[in-house]
Amino acid sequence: MAVKINESWNNYLRPEFEKEYFIKLQEFVKQEYAQGRCYPPGGKIFAAFDHCPSEKVKVVIIGQDPYHGPGQANGLCFSVADGIPHPPSLINIFKEVSENTGQSIPQSGNLERWADQGVFLLNATLTVRAHEAGSHQGKGWEQFTDEVIRIISKETENVVFMLWGGFAKKKEKLIDSNKHLVLKTGHPSPLSANRGLWFGNKHFVKANEYLLKQGKAKIDW
């Protein structure tokens, strides 16, 4: 079964799609979606890639799992579809953005507007069973998305990688910090943020300062 993904990514990822682990992963995901409700909708599994072609990546934000509630996940990490209440982590992300930029917190939690500017919003696991967090972990997605991070590190220059929380920080080993800016802080979840590990990280300001120094347009957060 051919993977429908933005052509710029297909050029890099075609070898992965032909590997045994990915073929098994495809079969697993196909069965899961056929047998019960899974998120995000099938057409949005690769939304992060479709909104942000490989040559336009400026910032990478790494999440762990898609949201598993009705109507939430739209294929971009930390993002929810229009009209869906902001989950707690997203509320804290928007609070930090507001503190960094002075702009008000947006009504919509849909981060497609970030992705379209070059913010690659990658979950380590791209699918999940409804109401069962982590249910698609350990099936091959992590191997695939680790390779995606390696490809971005190798094939691009001067990208900002935002690693939030212990899980994302483990991905640092996949990134060439001599070529890219790696920003690390606590996770935006209330558990971490309320212990003083998130607020005040200034990642959104630091990212734009770096991009401007590299002659790139800043992100309108």
First to last CA, the chain: 37
Q: Which of 65, 146, 176, 220 is an active site residue? A: 65
Q: How many C-alpha atoms does 76 have within 13 Å on its Cβ side?
A: 24
Taking the C-alpha atoms of residue 174 and residue 154, their distance in angstroms, rounded to an integer, is: 9
- DSSP 8-state class, residue 71: T
Q: Can you read off the two tokens belonging to residue 18? A: 């032909």
What is the β-pairing status of strands 128-129 and 38-39?
Answer: antiparallel
User: How many other CB atoms are there within 10 angstroms of residue 214's CB atom?
Assistant: 12
Closest CA to 62 of 203, 196, 178: 203
E-assigned strand segments in the chain:
38-39, 59-63, 119-123, 128-129, 160-164, 181-185
Helix (H, G, I), strand (E, B) or coil at 63: strand
Measured between alpha carbons, how far is 53 from 69 in angstroms, rounded to an integer?
Answer: 28
Q: 85 preceded by cis ω (within 30°)?
A: no
- Concerning whether 50 is annotated as a catalytic residue, the answer is no
The residues carrying an active-site annotation are 65
